Amino acid sequence: MAEMAKKILIIEDDLGLARILSDILTKEQFAVSIAKDGEEGLEKAFRESPDLIFLDIQLPRMRGTVFLEQLRKDKRGTKIPVIVLSNLDDIDTVSKTLEGNVMHFFVKADMNLSDLVNKTKELLG
């Protein structure tokens, strides 16, 4: 019996970027879903129990930092690894985000997609 594909939730309001990431990760045999804002992301995170979440910080309807607080408050969300994708690279944002038990922080402008795929495989085995 084939192993179930690991589930990844991408929470990103730039749907072009979300689709690129989704396509790349799907080719790597991951099951990917996309949420376009923090509220939808939180709902999907609790409903789908993803194995990994990619999270933007600058989101409509619920900032990524608020999403992280809400996710970590609920026992269903305490263990889900989160990788942040953001163009915010100011130290306050980065440190506040990392307090939310984040596995990695990618600055979008500097992001290398193969690094992102490698980090994903590393985290998900």
Phi, psi of 91 (to 5 degrees): -60, -35
pTM (two decimals): 0.88
7-124 folds as Rossmann fold (3.40.50)
Question: pLDDT at residue 99 above 70?
Answer: no
Q: How many CA atoms lie within 13 A of 48 on its CB side?
A: 21
Question: pLDDT at residue 26 above 70?
Answer: yes
Residues 27-73 have pLDDT tens digits of 999 999 999 999 999 999 999 999 999 999 888 888 888 899 899 99
Q: Which residue has the higher pLDDT, 4 or 43?
A: 43
Helix, strand, or coil (residue 33):
strand
DSSP letter at 51 equals: S
Give me the chain's average pLDDT, please. Answer: 87
Domain boundaries, the chain: 7-124
Q: How far apart are CA 63 and CA 14, in angstroms?
A: 14
Adjacent-strand bridge partners of 35: 11
For the sheet with 104-107, list strands across it.
31-35, 7-11, 52-56, 82-86, 104-107
What tokens were used for 39? 């509220």
Residues with Cβ within 8 Å of 57's Cβ and at least 6 positions away in sequence, in order, are 63, 64, 65, 84, 86, 88, 93, 97
Which residue do the tokens 């072009």 mark? Answer: 16
Question: pLDDT at residue 119 above 70?
Answer: yes
Q: Which of 1-5, 86-90, 105-109, 111-115 has the highest mean pLDDT?
A: 111-115
